[in-house]
C-alpha cells in the first residue's frame, strides 16, 4: 500500500503530526516508531505512566530508553548518558515533564536569521493551541488544547523545593508565578505536563484519542533503515520489523525521529556531508554539509548535598517543582541561566553513606558553544558519535561558574538550616579559584537532554541550514524534517513544548 504521508518517529513531534494530518479523512497517514506501542493508559507500563519517579524510565538499560552515550567535553574521560525515548511518545514518555516555553527573543532571533514565519507573535497561537493551562487563563495561555499544564501549589512543595524558593526570595530574586509569561523572570513553580502523577505524553494526549480513524495507521517496533529516493524526490522508507526488511512508499515523507535519529537517518540515506558518507561507503544522494552540525544543548552541573535524616524523601513525590531563571552578570541575553531544585538526586538517588541527597542543578540556557553529530557506521543499529563540546567557550564557563557560586550562597540562607547536612560536591578545594572551579566544571558537565539544532532551519544562503523555514529539506523534494533538530538555536527553556509547537505549526502548512 502507498500512503499519502509517512511520519518516521512517534515522539513529541511525530504524534502531533500524525494526529493533525489524519484529521483530513482523505489523507492516509502511516506513523512508524522503533519502540513499542501502548494504545491505552491501562496497558502502559508504570515507568512511562507515572511521571514523578524518573529513574525507571531514564536509567541506562531500561526498556524504553535508547541508552545512548556522548562526549560532553573533549578532555572528559567517561562518556555521559544520553537518554532518549524508545516508545510511542518518544522522549515525551520518559522526560521530566517540564512544559516551559522559550522567551520571546528566542523565536524572534530565529526570524531574524531568515525564518520570518517563526517570530514570537506567529508562534504564540500554536503554544496556546497545544495546551490546556489549568491554572492561568489569559491571552498567553491555552484553555482547550491536548496537553494539560499545571503547577504544584505551595502547600504541596517538598521540603527541599520550599527551602530553595525561600532562599531565592531572601537573595532578592522576584517571585515568578507564571514562567510561560513573556516577561518571566525569577523563582517560581514549573509549568508541568503532569496531572496527578500521570505523565501527559504526546501519545496519550494527541495520538490515542483518534486511533479509530481508518486513515491513520500506527506501527510500533519498526526501525527505519533509510529513506529511498528517485533522483532528488523521496519516495519511501526501507524498514525492519520482526527480523524482516521491507519497503513502504508515500507521496510525502516527514522525518520526526528527534535531534539524534533524524540527522542519523538522513546520513544513512545518503543525505549529509559528502566526506562522511563516502568514508563509510554510503552512496551520496545529496551533499548537505549542515546535517549533524550545530548540535545544541544546555550544559549542566549539579551542586549536590546530603539531606538531614529528619527530612522526608519519597520517590513517589515530584522530583522537580521549583526553578530560578535569571540573567548572568554582564550578559545581553535575558534568562540565560536556570537553577533547578531537586527533591532527590539522579542518577545516584542515594549517596554512599545511605542518606538521601538532593541537588541544585545549574543549566546554561543559551550556550555560545555548539557540537557535532557524526556518523560512525552504515549500520542503523550503531549510534552516531555525539560530541557536545560543552564549555569550550570561555563565556560559557564564566556563566556556569557564577551559577555554581550562587548555589553556594543560596545554601547559606536560613531556609536550608534544617535541610542540609553537608555539601557533597563541589568540595571546598574545588571552589578555591576560577581555575579549580573550571576544572571541576569540565570533569562534571553533562547534558540536560535537550539536544537540538542538528538539522538547522534557515535559508539556502546559510551553509549549515538543512531545511527551509517550512521544514523542507534543501535540494530535495517530498521530504521534511519536523522535530527539535530544526531549531536554529536552542531555546532558553526545556525543549518539549517548543517541539510540539513546531509540529503544530508545520501541520497547518502541510494541511
C-alpha 333/C-alpha 312 separation (Å) is 38
Question: Given this model, what pLDDT does residue 351 score?
Answer: 45
C-alpha span between 35 and 143 (Å, rounded):
32
Query: pLDDT tens digits for 476-501?
Result: 999 999 999 999 999 999 999 999 99
Query: If you write DSSP's letter for every residue of 124-136 in order, what string do you get?
Result: HHHHHHHEEESS-
What are residue 362's DSSP bridge partners? 301, 339
* Closest to 119 in 3D by CA, of 464, 501, 500: 501
| Predicted pLDDT at 215 | 98
CA distance 238 to 169: 56
User: For the chain, what is the mean pLDDT?
Assistant: 95
Is residue 436 within 8 Å of 389, Cβ to Cβ? no
pLDDT value, residue 54 = 86
Report pLDDT for 348: 40
Q: Which residue intervals of the chain bear CATH 3.50.50.60?
A: 2-45+81-115+199-295+451-510
On whether the CB atoms of residues 291 and 263 are closer than 8 A, the answer is: yes
Q: 48-80 burial by CB neighbour count: b if 16+ within 10 A, else e? A: bbbbbbbebbbbeebebbbbbebbbbeebeeeb
Which pLDDT does position 120 carry in this prediction? 98
pLDDT at residue number 315: 66
C-alpha distance from residue 417 to each of 50, 320, 404, 408, 414 (Å): 32, 21, 19, 13, 5
450 is catalytic: yes
Entry pTM: 0.97
Could you give the 3-state DSSP secondary structure of residue 374?
strand
Name residues of the chain where pLDDT drops below 70: 315, 346-355
Of 212, 385, 450, 470, which residue is the catalytic one?
Answer: 450
What pLDDT, on the 0 to 100 scale, is given for residue 309? 86
Cα(391)–Cα(401) distance, integer angstroms:
11
Please give the C-alpha separations between residue 90 and each of 65, 299, 308, in angstroms, as whole numbers: 9, 22, 37
What pLDDT sits at residue 470?
A: 98
Digit-coded pLDDT (tens) for 152-181: 999 999 999 999 999 999 999 999 999 999
Q: What's the rounded Cα separation, in Å, for the pair 372 and 217? A: 34
Architecture per CATH, 2-45+81-115+199-295+451-510: 3-Layer(bba) Sandwich (3.50)
pLDDT at 350: 42
Q: Give the model's pLDDT for residue 354.
A: 43
Residue 286, preceding peptide bond in cis (omega within 30° of 0): no
Superfamily of domain 150-198+299-447 in the CATH hierarchy = Glucose Oxidase, domain 3 (3.30.560.10)
Amino acid at each position: 500500500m502507498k500512503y499519502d504521508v509517512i511520519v518516521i518517529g512517534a515522539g513529541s513531534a511525530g504524534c502531533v503530526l500524525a494526529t493533525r494530518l489524519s484529521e483530513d479523512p482523505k489523507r492516509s497517514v502511516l506513523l512508524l516508531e522503533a519502540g513499542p506501542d501502548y494504545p491505552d493508559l491501562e496497558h502502559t507500563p508504570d515507568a512511562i505512566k507515572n511521571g514523578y519517579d524518573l529513574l525507571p524510565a531514564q536509567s541506562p538499560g531500561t526498556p524504553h530508553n535508547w541508552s545512548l552515550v556522548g562526549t560532553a567535553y573533549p578532555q572528559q574521560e567517561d562518556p555521559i548518558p544520553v537518554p532518549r525515548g524508545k516508545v510511542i511518545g518518544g522522549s515525551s514518555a520518559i522526560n521530566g515533564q517540564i512544559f516551559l516555553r522559550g522567551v520571546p527573543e528566542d523565536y524572534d532571533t530565529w526570524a531574524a536569521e531568515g525564518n520570518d514565519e517563526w517570530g514570537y507573535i506567529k508562534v504564540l497561537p500554536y503554544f496556546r493551541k497545544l495546551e490546556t493551562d489549568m491554572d492561568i487563563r489569559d491571552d498567553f495561555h491555552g484553555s482547550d488544547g491536548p496537553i494539560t499544564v499545571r503547577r504544584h501549589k505551595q502547600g504541596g512543595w517538598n521540603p527541599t523545593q520550599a527551602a530553595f524558593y525561600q532562599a531565592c526570595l531572601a537573595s532578592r530574586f522576584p517571585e515568578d508565578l507564571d514562567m510561560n509569561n513573556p516577561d518571566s523572570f525569577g523563582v517560581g513553580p514549573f509549568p508541568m505536563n503532569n496531572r496527578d502523577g500521570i505523565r501527559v505524553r504526546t501519545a496519550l494526549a494527541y495520538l490515542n484519542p483518534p486511533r479509530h480513524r481508518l486513515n491513520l495507521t500506527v506501527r510500533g517496533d519498526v526501525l527505519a533503515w533509510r529513506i529511498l529516493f528517485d533522483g532528488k524526490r523521496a519516495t519511501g522508507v526501507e524498514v525492519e520489523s520482526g527480523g524482516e526488511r521491507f519497503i513502504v512508499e508515500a507521496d510525502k515523507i516527514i522525518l520526526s525521529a528527534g535531534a539524534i535519529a533524524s540527522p542519523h537517518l538522513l546520513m544513512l540515506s545518503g543525505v549529509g556531508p559528502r566526506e562522511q558518507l563516502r568514508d563509510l561507503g554510503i552512496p551520496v544522494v545529496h551533499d548537505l554539509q549542515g546535517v549533524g552540525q550545530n548540535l545544541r544543548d544546555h550544559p549542566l552541573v549539579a551542586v549536590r548535598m546530603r539531606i538531614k535524616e529528619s527530612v522526608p524523601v519519597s520517590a513517589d513525590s515530584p522530583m522537580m517543582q521549583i526553578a530560578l531563571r535569571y540573567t548572568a552578570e554582564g550578559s545581553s541575553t535575558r534568562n540565560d541561566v536556570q537553577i533547578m531544585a531537586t527533591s532527590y538526586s539522579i542518577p545516584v538517588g542515594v549517596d554512599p553513606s545511605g542518606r538521601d541527597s538532593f541537588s541544585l542543578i545549574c543549566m546554561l540556557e543559551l550556550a555560545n558553544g555548539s557540537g557535532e553529530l557524526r556518523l560512525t557506521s552504515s549500520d542503523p543499529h550503531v549510534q552516531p558519535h555525539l560530541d557536545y563540546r560543552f564549555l569550550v567557550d570561555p563565556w560559557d564557563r564564566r556563566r556556569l561558574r557564577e551559577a555554581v557560586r550562587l548555589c553556594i550562597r543560596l545554601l547559606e540562607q536560613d531556609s536550608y538550616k534544617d535541610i542540609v547536612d553537608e555539601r557533597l560536591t563541589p568540595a571546598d578545594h574545588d571552589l578555591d579559584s576560577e581555575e579549580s572551579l573550571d576544572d571541576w566544571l569540565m570533569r562534571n558537565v553533562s547534558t540536560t537532554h535537550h539536544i537540538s539544532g542538528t538539522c538547522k532551519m534557515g535559508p539556502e544562503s546559510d551553509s549549515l541550514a538543512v531545511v527551509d523555514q517550512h521544514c523542507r529539506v534543501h535540494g530535495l523534494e517530498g521530504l521534511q524534517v519536523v522535530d527539535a533538530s530544526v531549531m536554529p538555536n536552542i531555546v532558553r527553556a526545556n525543549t518539549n513544548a517548543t517541539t510540539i509547537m513546531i509540529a503544530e505549526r508545520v501541520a497547518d502548512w502541510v494541511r
